[in-house]
Amino acid sequence: MIHITLSDRRESPSDDPLGRTHYGYSPNMPPSEIYRDNHGYYVLGTRADRENYALFSAPDHSGERKVVLAVEIERIDRKTVPGRGVIEGDILSEGHPVFDAYVGKPITGNRNPINYIDSVVGRRTCACGCGTEISLGQFVPGHDQRALHERVSQIGTVLDFLDWFDKVHSGVGETVTNTDSSLRHGRPQAIRRETYNLDKYEWPNGLELFLYDDGRIKVGHKDSSIAVTEVSNYTAGKTGTSRASAHVIARFTPTESGSAS
């Protein structure tokens, strides 16, 4: 955890990069104000990026230093104030293990306003799903690599993975590989066509479904002709239990030149 020792409440310089009028702590400040005035900016080393929580402390009226705010860190903003870090995160409240363990309790200060505490409270489980508890970062060292490579191997080789990723990421197409043997017509390829403002789904047998961003839907089938057999609108039921709905039914018939496969 990061531990930040706050000064008494003071006026900020008029050119404060965070637009604050004050910084520091005075008794009876609500947590939102303590956060607003003190979540940045600080000289924060790289360790800060792996910490999950920040505690802010200040002396109370008896002079004893106590934790006045606990924050779950979402990210360290290092852009707003060049060379400095601004802590962005959620203010914790009663019931959160970190809040309950620290807020309102005495804590030892330090000449350096930024300290790090090794705490058994507020540990997370490794994001790979192995269940190991960690106090720093999101993964047990090495587990991020393992989790990544497990996913690569589900696609194939590293080259297969790169091809697949580039296709998906560029919106050219994604083959849904998790085939369900109970589907008689196979799974569609889903493709985003940004230039036409539509998502396209294409089934192995040539059936195509286009979902336009403006709400239009186009259904097509390669090597086929079409007959629309039903177009219906249903209004909502008077009792409010049935919702309004509409549907179109069409049948595609293979053309002479079409292949039957």
Name the residue nearer to Zn ion (CB basis): 137 or 220.
137
With binding defined as CB under 5 A, does residue 136 bind Zn ion? Answer: no
How far does Cα 13 stand from its chain's mean position? 35
* Residue 172 touches Zn ion, criterion: CB under 5 A: no
**Angle at the Cα of 185 (from 180 to 187), degrees rounded to 5?**
50
Does the protein bind Zn ion through residue 130 (CB under 5 A)? yes
- Decide: helix, strand or coil at residue 182: coil
Beta bridge partners of 106: 66
CA pair distance 126, 138, nearest whole angstrom: 6
Q: Using CB under 5 A, which of 3, 39, 96, 143 touches Zn ion?
A: 143
Residue 153 CA to residue 118 CA, distance in Å, equals 36
Please provide the DSSP assignment of 6-65 as one string: --B-EEPPTT-TT--SEESB-TT--HHHHHHHHSEEE---GGGGGB-EEEEEEE-TTS-E
Binding segment for Zn ion (CB under 5 A), chosen from 89-97, 107-115, 127-135, 237-245, is 127-135
Write down the least CB distance from residue 136 to Zn ion, Å: 13
Rule CB under 5 A: which of 97-126 touch Zn ion? 126
* 148 binds Zn ion per the rule CB under 5 A: no
Give the binding-site size for Zn ion (rule: CB under 5 A).
Answer: 5
Cβ nearer to Zn ion, comparing 140 with 190: 140
Judged by beta carbon, residue 43 or residue 130, the one nearer Zn ion is 130
| DSSP H helical ranges for the chain | 31-38, 97-102, 143-155, 158-169
Applying CB under 5 A, does 134 fall inside the site for Zn ion? Answer: no
Among 248, 252, 246, 220, residue whose Cα is nearest residue 234: 246
Task: Output the CA torsion sign for 252, 256, 258, 261.
Answer: positive
Selected range binding Zn ion among 24-32, 133-141, 184-192, 241-249, rule: CB under 5 A: 133-141
Question: Please, which residue, 140 or 211, has the CB nearer to Zn ion?
Answer: 140
Q: Does 200 bind Zn ion (CB under 5 A)?
A: no
- The yes or no reply on residue 236 touching Zn ion (CB under 5 A) is no
Specify the amino acid at residue 54: A
Minimum separation from the CB atom of position 37 to Zn ion (A): 37
| Interacting residue with Zn ion among 103, 128, 191, 198 (CB under 5 A) | 128
70 binds Zn ion (CB under 5 A): no
**Which residues are at the interface with Zn ion (CB under 5 A)?**
126, 128, 130, 140, 143
